[in-house]
Amino acid sequence: MRELDYRPNVIARSLRRKKTQNIGMVIPDISYPFLAEVARGVEDIGFELGYNVILCDSNGDLEKEASCIELFQGKRVDGIVFVAAGESANHIQSLIEQGMPVILVDRDLTEIEADTVIADDVESGYQATEYLIQSGHRRIGCITGPRKLRISNKRVDGYKQALERYGLPLCDELLVHGDFRCRGGYEAMKELLALDKPPTAVFACNDLMAMGAICAASKRRLRIPRDVAIIGCDDIALAAFTNPSLTTIAQPKHEMGAMAAKMLVERIEDRNRPPTKQTLPTELVIRDSC
């Protein structure tokens, strides 16, 4: 084989074995650092277990997500990892009914029975808000993500639970929607700072929005954290290199992807076992922005 530089015919082998050793992964935004780290976990463990990972970016659009599914079906992948584009589960449910092994990661679709790996997003919001309260803040703003995403709403639930636990009022004017991107955090922070009584601290529901918030505060010549404290969520690699460095809630990004890959391979090998749900803990990372 070495002398003739022989390469096996992968297509012929997959037809014989009825397995391609390929798995698909659909994510809503390949440029988002958090999702890139989750995808790395899937790829690392997939490779270790003998599977190639084909990545498809849905751009957060359900129609494009459906196109990704068609692409994967055409390539006869053995299973699919989903970071779902939205809350609609019909097309994913249809896949499961057709016998395709599926696993959900980062976003939980309660309408379907599927293997799921998520972080504790309610606890993330609670940890962030509790830390600000314990640091002496009483007027705490929250920059949340898109209204349609359950992950965003769960982090806000944690924020609300912490306020209630410590006897602080929930002020509607302090809850502002962003888009999980830097620009959204920037615009939301401007809105909070324009209030007659702006917050002394802000919980941004992801790190990119927290970075946008830091930029908006700096433009107003506010000192962070002396004039306003800012905490994020996710602990992407860039969080340690903002100015000031970002206090945040670390999500187990690589671990989530790695566990998703392991569970998908287990599902491929045993399609009759009951679906399982894994919820991984989060951790407060204290830096300089609070």
Write out pLDDT tens, residues 185-197.
Answer: 999 999 999 999 9
Co-location of 17 and 104 in the same domain: yes
153 and 172 in a common domain: yes
* 240 and 258 together in one domain: no
Structure tokens at 216: 């908006």
Q: Which of 193, 84, 92 is nearest to 143 (CA)?
A: 193
pLDDT at 12 over 60: no
Residue pLDDT, tens place only, 127-180: 999 999 999 999 999 999 988 888 999 999 999 999 999 999 999 999 999 999
Work out the average pLDDT over 123-127.
98
Provide the residue range defining the domain that includes 166: 121-250
pLDDT at residue 15, rounded to an integer: 55
Q: State whether 24 and 139 are in the same domain.
A: no
Residue 171 sits in the same domain as residue 116 = no
Which amino acid belongs to residue 251?
Q
Residue 95 lies in a domain: yes
The pair of three-digit structure tokens given for residue 250, joined into one six-digit string: 């670390």
Same domain, 245 and 195: yes
Report the distance separating Cα 201 and Cα 57, nearest Å: 34
Q: Kindly write down the DSSP assignment for every residue of 84-137, as one continuous string.
A: -SSS--HHHHHHHHTT--EEEESS--TTS--EEEEE-HHHHHHHHHHHHHHTT-
pLDDT class of 10 with cuts at 50, 70, 90: low
Instruction: Annotate 213-224 with DSSP letters as a single string.
Output: HHHHHHHTT--T
Query: Does residue 67 fall inside a structural domain?
Result: yes
Q: Are residues 126 and 109 in the same domain?
A: no
Residue 214 within any structural domain of the chain: yes
Which structure tokens are listed for 207? 């790190």
The reply to whether 275 and 159 lie within a common domain is no
Residue 234 covered by a domain: yes
Please check the confidence at residue 101 and state whether its pLDDT lies above 60. Answer: yes
Residue 133 belongs to a domain = yes
Whether 5 is covered by a domain: the verdict is no
In a domain, 290, yes or no: no
- Cβ-based neighbours of 17, under 8 Å, separated by 6 or more: none
Kindly state whether residues 15 and 112 are assigned to the same domain.
yes
Residue 84 has pLDDT above 80, yes or no: yes
Q: Is 240 helix (H, G, I), strand (E, B) or coil?
A: helix
Sign of torsion, CA 242 246 248 252? positive
Residues 42 and 157 in one domain: no
pLDDT in tens, 63-77: 999 999 999 999 999
**CATH code of 33's domain:** 3.40.50.2300
| Pair 266, 273: CB distance under 8 Å | yes
Query: Alpha carbon of 9 to those of 6, 14, 15, 16: distances in Å?
Result: 9, 9, 10, 11
What is the tally of structural domains in the chain? 2
Considering the domain architecture, whether residues 157 and 227 belong to the same structural domain is answered as yes
Residues 163 and 257 placed together within one structural domain of the fold: no
Whether residue 2 lies inside any domain: the answer is no
pLDDT at residue 2, rounded to an integer? 85
